[in-house]
Structure 1
Amino acid sequence: MYAFQYFLYCLCISIALKLQIPLGVVLAIPPFNYPVNLAVSKIAPALIAGNSLVLKPPTQGAVSCLHMVHCFHLAGFPKGLISCVTGKGSEIGDFLTMHPGVNCISFTGGDTGIAISKKAGMIPLQMELGGKDACIVLEDADLDLVAANIIKGGFSYSGQRCTAIKVVLAMESIADALVEKVKARVAKLRVGAPEDDCDITSVVTESSANFIEGLVMDAKEKGATFCQEYKREGNLIWPLLLDNVRPDMRIAWEEPFGPILPVLRINSVEEGIHHCNASNFGLQGCVFTKDINKALLISDAMETGTVQINSAPARGPDHFPFQGLKDSGIGSQGITNSINMMTKVKSTVINLPTPSYTMG
């Protein structure tokens, strides 16, 4: 892909042509929870920009990625344009991310991305990492709408989404009513196998389940209110709403990546913003209020890549910009942003022997 821009200088003696040219080889690493969608969102802009691509699928989603790449080959894509390399990140990760033939890395996942960014060297990076997405609920919010979005945002995919609601910051005056509405909806969630079309299914690994349980036990020891009985069978964890969570509890800050949702009660909007911004994450957040002026002011104050007003956090359509701040990422995704990131700028300056009078 060659994109030209035309610049003039002084008396039009010099003309600069700005070219956007391919970087070369893009290494794409999608996560286990959306192995196809988040692979395609990297593959498409890389190819549009004129690059070739190496896909390193997640260990738990490798089969779907292999089938997808096979479909590309059946469709007639030239050999070598898209390659797929499988293996555990602990075994082949450093080899791939530090390989001199890789010119760009687009990664979606957890804090592994921070390690990659430290090792990759002087190449463009696109990192979408974890989040502790806060849901700030004001006194005038529609609590039925909030409760529905907390269920959708906090428990879909069993909470295994970077854009899941990870902490509810509710004004004290409406917290009791909100918690009761959420509890009633949690009770209706079906728990079991994905083949049975259940709402809550197993988390991805035993280590993930153990980590979640550690957060739950810490909250229990420190006095959080359990709105449901904690229940676990293997990797299957029943949905749990934790009320009266305090900042000294791990669950107030750490990302469970599971069906566990803490509620912190706040006495002012400023308290909610402070908690949100004190996190080392800054991916997404949401605000529920009927006052659009307050919503915009709070959105401006929240140190997150995206803020949803009166809706749960979401990745959104692939042409929307999608980015994280702080430990939640580097760069911005979305087709246009990704294409620009996967190209390099080169200038060619034409120096004319005499001034040009084309501008009059």
Structure 2
Amino acid sequence: MYPIVNCISFTGGDTGIAISKKAGMIPLQMELGGKDACLILEDADLDLTASNIVKGGFSYSGQRCTAVKVVLVMESVANALIDKFKAKVAKLTVGPPEDDCDITPVVTESSANFIEGLVMDAKQKGATFCQEYRREGNLIWPLLLDSIHPDMRIAWEEPFGDINKAILISDAMETGTVQINSAPSQGPDHFPFQGLKDSGIGSQGIPNSINMMTKIKTTVINLPTPSYTMG
């Protein structure tokens, strides 16, 4: 049994980065901010794709770390995908959680204000709204923004096909996890769950977390050299 040693495990964004700078030699496990993206190629099944984007983007009202936040789609199929996505979004119910709605209020007014700030920044910089922006208190209706550019905050900040092509793209990506033909998700507990760069340090998941928080100790027993008596 390995002895447990000091380790800092933290989930957050900028605070986690600040902690890591002060940790010194203490082992770190950090789940920080992320911007989960879907990549859509020309030969994708657009009905399946639209369903996965809606599921990945709006389940739990979008308030989870693995929610779909960015969709990068080939221009030749972009308009068709948007039409299918809009049709599915229109079927989502919006309201209080006691009514078992698909989209419910975010946790605080400050969270709603932050999300609205991202949306308004994108609007001022030329984003196209595929639905009317609507908010009542902490309740924000589902919204798709098109024509997003890197200078927009929403392109970076987190608001809480062909298999050969998919593997090639996965290998080229600098990211902790790639889901092919599905929305982002953490996966079973024995799967590693991690981020790269400012999205995290170390890896979560039962065996990975245990290994992060333990340190191997080696004990070598040097036995005395036996002496032999010649008979």
Which of 162, 172, 191 in structure 2 is aligned with 1:301?
Answer: 172
Structure 2 SS opposite 1:345: coil
Structure 1 CA distance for aligned equivalents of residues 151 and 16 of structure 2: 27
Structure 1 SS opposite 2:9: strand
Which of 196, 202, 227 in structure 2 is aligned with 1:331?
Answer: 202
Q: Structure 1: which amino acid aligns with 2:66?
A: T
Which residues of 2 match residues 202-351 of structure 1 at below 5 A?
202-257=105-160, 289=161, 291-351=162-222
Which of 19, 22, 27 in structure 1 is aligned with 2:4?
Answer: 22
User: Deviation of residue 320 (structure 1)?
Assistant: 1.0
Give the structure 2 partner of residue 188 of structure 1.
91
Q: Give per-residue Cα distances to partners, 1:280-305, cap 9 Å, x unaligned.
A: xxxxxxxxx2x111101100111110
User: Deviation of residue 347 (structure 1)?
Assistant: 1.0
Q: Give per-residue Cα distances to partners, 1:160-184, cap 9 Å, x unaligned.
A: 1111111000000000000001101
Structure 1: gaps (5+ residues): 3-19, 24-102, 258-288, 356-360
Which of 165, 175, 178 in structure 1 is aligned with 2:68?
Answer: 165
TM-score normalised by length of structure 2: 0.93
Structure 2 CA distance for aligned equivalents of residues 253 and 119 of structure 1: 25
Percent identical among aligned pairs is 85
User: Deviation of residue 247 (structure 1)?
Assistant: 2.3
Structure 1 CA distance for aligned equivalents of residues 153 and 214 of structure 2: 41
Which residues of 2 match residues 9-158 of structure 1 at below 5 A?
20-23=2-5, 103-158=6-61
Structure 1 CA distance for aligned equivalents of residues 99 and 186 of structure 2: 26
Structure 2 CA distance for aligned equivalents of residues 238 and 135 of structure 1: 21
Q: Give per-residue Cα distances to partners, 1:239-285, cap 9 Å, x unaligned.
A: 1001122222221222122xxxxxxxxxxxxxxxxxxxxxxxxxxxx
Give the structure 2 partner of residue 197 of structure 1.
100
User: Deviation of residue 354 (structure 1)?
Assistant: 4.4
User: Deviation of residue 345 (structure 1)?
Assistant: 1.2
Structure 2 CA distance for aligned equivalents of residues 302 and 352 of structure 1: 52
Structure with the larger strand share? 1
User: Deviation of residue 122 (structure 1)?
Assistant: 2.6
Q: Give per-residue Cα distances to partners, 1:115-153, cap 9 Å, x unaligned.
A: 222233432221111110111000000001110110011
Structure 2: gaps (5+ residues): 227-231
User: Deviation of residue 220 (structure 1)?
Assistant: 1.2
Structure 1 CA distance for aligned equivalents of residues 88 and 40 of structure 2: 17
Structure 2 CA distance for aligned equivalents of residues 125 and 217 of structure 1: 36
User: Deviation of residue 210 (structure 1)?
Assistant: 1.1
User: Could you tell which deviates more after superposition, 306-315 or 113-122?
Assistant: 113-122
Structure 2 CA distance for aligned equivalents of residues 338 and 218 of structure 1: 38
Cα RMSD after superposing both structures: 1.4
Give the structure 1 partner of residue 229 of structure 2.
none
Runs of 4+ residues over 3 Å off in structure 1: 352-355
Structure 1 CA distance for aligned equivalents of residues 130 and 46 of structure 2: 18
